[in-house]
Amino acid sequence: MNKIYTSHCKEFGHPEFCLQFDPDIALATDAEFVASLLESMVSKGSCFQDGQSMQLGWSYLMLSTQQDGSLGFKEADFQTMPLVWNIGISNTLRHLRLHKDIVESVVPTEYLSIPSFRAECIVCNELKTANGQIMMVRQEEKNLDSGWFFGCCEEGHDHNNVDNLERISLYEAVVMHASACLPYLGFPQGMTILLGEGRPIFFYEDKELAILEGSYLDIAI
């Protein structure tokens, strides 16, 4: 694990932060960005303490006091339900980078709209047996509802029948039902995404969008 410390929080009577991450999973530049963000928040009056949680991207982090007096972080394991807290912010940084880069592969940055993993979504009860064919649709975000729907692409499966649907947290949906959906959660209301064996297909307000040439997604897939 690599460590990056803030250095200006003590100027405001606040503990410094210790950000731990695996360099094989997350970028140091992203950790440095978060460190700068935390310093800026503290300089503007924000106060953080042991046992508190904070949202970063779609993830929530738990703060804990370290032996050296700094505030460290724990993140969800993104493997189990209920979740287990692990030391560091590796996956949180990776997901934040992934959401940003993938949205920017299709639409401008200002369209980025990352929900919380605590927010709810609706999933089709055939999702686990969808054989890699998944339809993602994002409608209006309301309160605890992320607006996301994840469904199978089977013609005979009626998604208008509530008996075929389930409302769960985004975390549970991704961890237990459809991990393939995770990279695309930052797209805004009005987006439809078709996932399958080949490249994803994107529609915004019923208009098909092309993956931008030379973008992250264009190179990665």
Residue holding tokens 């993830």? 59
Per-residue pLDDT tens for 23-38?
Answer: 999 999 999 999 999 9
Percent of the chain with pLDDT over 90: 91
Query: Cα separations (Å) of 66 from 9, 40, 70, 100, 148?
Result: 15, 21, 5, 30, 37
pLDDT one-digit tens code per residue, 101-131: 999 999 999 999 999 999 999 999 988 777 7
The span from the CA of 170 to the CA of 174, in Å, is 6
The answer to whether residue 197 scores a pLDDT higher than 90 is no
Long-range CB contacts (< 8 A, 24+ apart) of 61-70?
61/89, 61/92, 65/15, 66/18, 68/18, 69/15, 69/16, 70/5, 70/15, 70/16, 70/17, 70/18
Q: From the DSSP assignment, how many helices (H) and strands (E) are in the chain?
A: 4, 13
- Please provide the average confidence, as pLDDT, over all residues in the chain: 96
Per-residue model confidence (pLDDT) at position 129: 77
Give the pLDDT confidence score for residue 218 in this predicted structure: 98
- CA-CA distance, 134 to 182, in Å (whole number)? 12
pLDDT tens across 135-170, in order? 999 999 999 999 999 999 888 888 989 999 999 999
- pLDDT at position 130, please? 72
Q: Could you give the angle at which helices 90-103 and 28-43 cross, rounded to 10 degrees?
A: 100
Tens of pLDDT, residues 29-66? 999 999 999 999 999 999 999 999 999 999 999 999 99
Q: What is residue 10's predicted lDDT score, i.e. its pLDDT? A: 97
Over residues 67-90, the mean pLDDT reads 97
Q: Which residue has the tokens 């310093």?
A: 39
DSSP state of 146: E
Q: Tell me the C-alpha distance between 186 and 139, whole Å.
A: 13
